[in-house]
Amino acid sequence: MTGRISVLSPTGVWGRMGLARHNWPGRFTVLLFTILLMLVSQPMFSRHDYAQNIATAAISLVLLAALYSVRSARFYFTVALVLFVPSFGTRLALLFTSSPQIEAVGAITSCLFLAVTVIALVTRLFTVKSVTLDTISAAICAYLMTGIAFAYAFAVVELRNPGSFSAVLFQRPSSNIAPLMASLHNFIYYSFVCLTTTGFGDIAPMSEGARSLSVMESVFGQLYMAILIARLVSLQVAQSMMKERE
């Protein structure tokens, strides 16, 4: 009876979900929510008068949540913090001026910031001893952030070499909106097509840089799913066997 009460108590429930003690309040779950919010809001408000403000807010939330999620890893947190400053600063600068140079700096630093965060999350996933809700959220976040990081990389390629893709991905619906802020959802769309190896064929890489990144992302997407899913499944099996022995 006592064991049943402890399991059904708020502390027991939150503990089983990975949202207690050092995981509180579920930083990877919070990060996942902000990423999904960004992915939904980007195309939905792409042609809205306040599209740039909404995009800036959504991206900033993702950056802040990502920084918060790696706070326990001192090395990754320090590197991410150094990259966060120019990445966040360029978002604010683009609200007042549209400059290809500022957009390029923002895209590069955002790409590197997200890459560091993905490395931190994957490193953690290979060191955890049990599977919780927050662990699963971290795995999903790493996958989604990989797609967004490559989207910024594709944007940098297009900024430096216009015509790198068969379709026009940069759009300028208003003279007051920076092209990258208005068109990021197009690069995210193409990035996830590559990451999932869907291959619709509506957008094709034309330059060598775009082709190389497309191949790299497709290979990474397949390896990530195969290796990480195997890791989580093995942890879950081991966790279940330990409970049966008890």
Q: At residue 56, does pLDDT exceed 60?
A: yes
pLDDT for residue 101: 87
Three-state SS for 54-101 is HHHHHHHHHHHHHHHHCCCCHHHHHHHHHHHHHHHHHHHHCCCCCCHH
Q: At residue 237, does pLDDT exceed 60?
A: yes
Distance CA 193, CA 189 (A): 6
Lowest pLDDT segment from 16-25, 32-41, 129-138, 145-154: 16-25
pLDDT for residue 231: 84
Q: pLDDT digit string (tens) for 61-92?
A: 999 999 998 988 889 999 999 999 999 998 88
Residue 25 CB burial class (10 angstroms; 0-12, 13-18, ≥19):
exposed
pLDDT for residue 233: 82
Lowest pLDDT segment from 101-105, 127-131, 175-179, 227-231: 175-179
Segment 2-6 mean pLDDT: 47
Predicted TM-score of the model (pTM): 0.84
Q: pLDDT digit string (tens) for 86-105?
A: 999 988 887 787 788 888 89
Domains and CATH numbers, the chain: 25-245 (1.10.287.70)
Q: At residue 39, does pLDDT exceed 50?
A: yes
Find the helix packing angle between 27-44 and 133-160, rounded to 10°: 40
CB–CB of 47/172 below 8 Å? no
pLDDT for residue 238: 75
| pLDDT band per the 50, 70, 90 thresholds, residue 49 | low
Determine the 3-state secondary structure of 165 from DSSP: strand
Segment 158-178 mean pLDDT: 79
